[in-house]
Amino acid sequence: MFSWLKNRWHRTGLTAYITHSDCLGHNMGVGHPECPERLIAIRDQLMASQIFDTLQEIDAPLVTPQQLARVHPPRYVDYIEACTPQVGTFRIDPDTAMSPGTLPAAQRAAGAVVKAVELVCEDKVPNAFCAIRPPGHHAESAKSMGFCFFNNIAVGVAHAMSVYKYERVAIVDFDVHHGNGTEEIFKDDPRVLMASMFQHPFFPYCGDTPAGSNPHMHNVPMKAGSGSREFREAVETVWLPALHDFQPQMLFISAGFDAHREDDMGSMGLTESDYEWVTRHLLQIADLYCQGRVVSVLEGGYDLSSLARSVTAHLRALSDT
């Protein structure tokens, strides 16, 4: 099926696996689905599957104020810093809270994507996966929500366009929730194409704009219960034609795994084979137009077993093992 693999753009080195122990320090309370155990489960499964040894683990740096300022106004960053509690939690909204470890975790999460961009764009790694939390795609330019504080992938995209001068960057988002923050940040920037799939109607209850209303936003709302057939049809009929037309110079993936059939955060029916399948198709796009440049960023996925298996399938494709 993937005969194109033999002709893949040749980029040396191991897939970068960028993370940091600070990302375990963010804790929104007992029983919260966005928990530190998510990263532990992913690492354990990668090791058990013998894929971890095929990756290059790299510590995420702290994002700089200048890097954040490309996406988030300084007053918003100041607000997040001011909300950091000394003990306990401070609730931003009913679903999203800060603990003493939240700010360094969020700074590492955004910094990880910046680091991934630098490694990929300077040909030091073939591609990169950021195993980070808190996630980011719900964070708008001046609003935190949906477990998100800084929009990690948007910070990385802005870095790629500012430092490496890319004029066409694509973001693909297959989280079960629409990446409203990413869309809000880039909806008026023709340099960025966003292709997303999400359950609808569902949190955050947006993204279902009529097709063609924004030529560089390609959202595919999907009904609860949609599974592999509907997902693959959307990829083949909407995402891939849009990506071929756009011919991106770099490809980012908002990799949420909560559309898995075992994840009760949503009501969709994907499996780990779907995540491997879509990753390989996105790699084909990257090889055709981006010289293989791909940065993938962890978003959702809250059932620990299916999350870990799905990330493993995703990284199996990225690392071509």
Residue 93: predicted pLDDT: 93
**What pLDDT score was predicted for residue 213?**
83
User: Using CA atoms, how far apart are residues 156 and 238, in angstroms rounded to an integer?
Assistant: 24
Do 175 and 263 touch, CB atoms closer than 8 A?
no
What does the pLDDT look like over 137-172, one tens digit per residue?
999 999 999 999 999 999 999 999 999 999 999 999
61 exposed, middle or buried (CB, 10 Å; 0-12, 13-18, 19+)?
middle
Residues of the chain falling short of pLDDT 50: 1-7
In the prediction, which pLDDT does 306 show? 98
The strands making up 169-173's β-sheet, listed across from edge to edge, are 55-59, 15-19, 128-130, 294-298, 250-255, 169-173, 192-199, 217-222
Query: Looking at residue 8, what is its pLDDT?
Result: 53
Q: What angle do CA 298, 19, 142 make, to 5 degrees?
A: 55
pLDDT tens-digit profile of 45-81? 999 999 999 999 999 999 999 999 999 999 999 999 9
Catalytic entry in 138, 159, 200, 260: 138
pLDDT of residue 7: 47
Q: How many degrees, rounded to 5, is the angle at CA 282 between CA 277 and CA 288?
A: 130
Domains and their CATH numbers in the chain: 18-318 (3.40.800.20)
Pairing outcome for strands 90-93 and 96-98: antiparallel
Determine whether 72 is an active site residue.
no
Query: What's residue 55's pLDDT?
Result: 98
Predicted pLDDT at 9 = 55
